[in-house]
């Protein structure tokens, strides 16, 4: 029998999740996309359980019904995205206010070993999410949902204290999160995330969904307020194949409306959650 769980992670250090590049500057996302959290959990579970292709293939299916994750300082005030007055807000903060509150810049460059000087055109500025607010030093937590059918996973793996690594630049020690709370939830709580018990976009008589909390693909959906973006989904199978003649890097690209947008669904078809993205069921 499948169950839904609310996961809460404590952020232990800075992390970077690539959004846009402006010249040498890499901007970070202010939330954790579902496919990023899925990848981190699949990678960690797979490596801790033998690292074989069979283990990865098994767990990537078990973890795929997962939402995007959002930050909070106070559990009663989740910083969920929404578009108002032409701006993107996270909770009570505009995107710019939250970026000033929670981000900093990490500068890196490559060194020429003989001269010990910086290699030409190697300077990069990476925007990073901080584990504590710059203005009042409050700890940042991240929350999202996952549906699991295998009860061994919450009993033996998703335990308080589990440490995972998300995002890029892990070589600098970035991306450490610690699981702080795991809680089974009921369908009444799922409604806050616009999800039914089966992991589909919940029924709505007027088909209008405000401030969506996960991506939704654009097919059959009108944008009322918000933005769209192309996202890339990583395929762990192709990473593991490591074939020199395989030029495909294992990514699929999907055009979506972003979390926080208001949308209207025109079709009667259902949309199922898959790694933080609602996809039309074929």
In the chain, domain spans = 1-185, 186-281
Render pLDDT for 169-225 as a digit per residue (tens, 0 to 9).
666 778 999 999 999 999 889 999 999 999 999 988 899 999 999 999 999 999 999
**3-state secondary structure (DSSP) of residue 280:** strand
Per CATH, which fold does 1-185 belong to?
Alpha-Beta Plaits (3.30.70)
Task: Give me the percent of the chain exceeding a pLDDT of 70.
Answer: 84
> How much is the pLDDT for 244?
42
Q: Read out DSSP for 138-154?
A: PBPEEEEEEEES-THHH
The size of the chain, in residues, is: 282
Token pair belonging to 132: 């504590």
The better pLDDT of the pair 124, 272 is held by 272
Confidence of residue 250 (pLDDT cuts 50, 70, 90): low
Report CA torsion sign: 271, 151, 157, 132: positive
The whole-chain average pLDDT of the chain stands at: 88
Confidence of residue 245 (pLDDT cuts 50, 70, 90): very low
> How much is the pLDDT for 242?
41
Query: In angstroms, how far apart are the furthest CA atoms of the chain?
Result: 68
């Amino acid at each position: 029998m499948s169950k839904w769980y609310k996961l809460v992670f404590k952020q232990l250090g800075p992390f970077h999740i690539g959004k846009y590049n402006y010249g040498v500057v890499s901007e970070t996302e202010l939330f954790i996309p579902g496919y990023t959290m899925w990848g981190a959990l699949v990678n960690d579970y797979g490596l801790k359980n033998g690292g074989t292709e069979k283990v990865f293939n098994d767990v990537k299916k078990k973890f795929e019904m997962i939402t995007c994750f959002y930050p909070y300082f106070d559990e009663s005030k989740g910083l969920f995205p929404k578009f108002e007055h032409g701006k993107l807000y996270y909770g009570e903060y505009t995107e710019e206010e939250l970026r000033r509150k929670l981000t900093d810049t990490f500068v890196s460059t490559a060194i020429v070993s003989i001269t010990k000087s910086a290699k030409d055109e190697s300077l990069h500025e990476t925007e990073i999410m901080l584990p504590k607010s710059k203005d009042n030093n409050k700890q940042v937590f991240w929350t999202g949902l996952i549906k699991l059918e295998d009860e061994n996973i919450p009993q033996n793996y998703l335990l308080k204290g589990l440490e995972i690594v998300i995002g890029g630049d892990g070589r600098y020690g970035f991306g450490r999160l610690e699981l702080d709370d795991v809680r089974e939830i009921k369908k009444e709580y799922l409604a806050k995330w616009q999800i039914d018990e089966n992991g589909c976009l919940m029924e709505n008589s007027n088909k209008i969904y405000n401030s969506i909390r996960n991506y939704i693909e654009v097919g059959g959906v009108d944008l009322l307020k918000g933005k769209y973006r192309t996202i890339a989904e990583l395929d762990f199978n192709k990473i593991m194949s490591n074939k020199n003649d395989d030029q495909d890097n294992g990514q699929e690209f999907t055009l979506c409306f972003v979390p926080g947008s208001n949308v209207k669904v025109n079709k009667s078809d259902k949309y199922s959650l898959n790694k933080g993205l609602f996809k039309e069921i074929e």
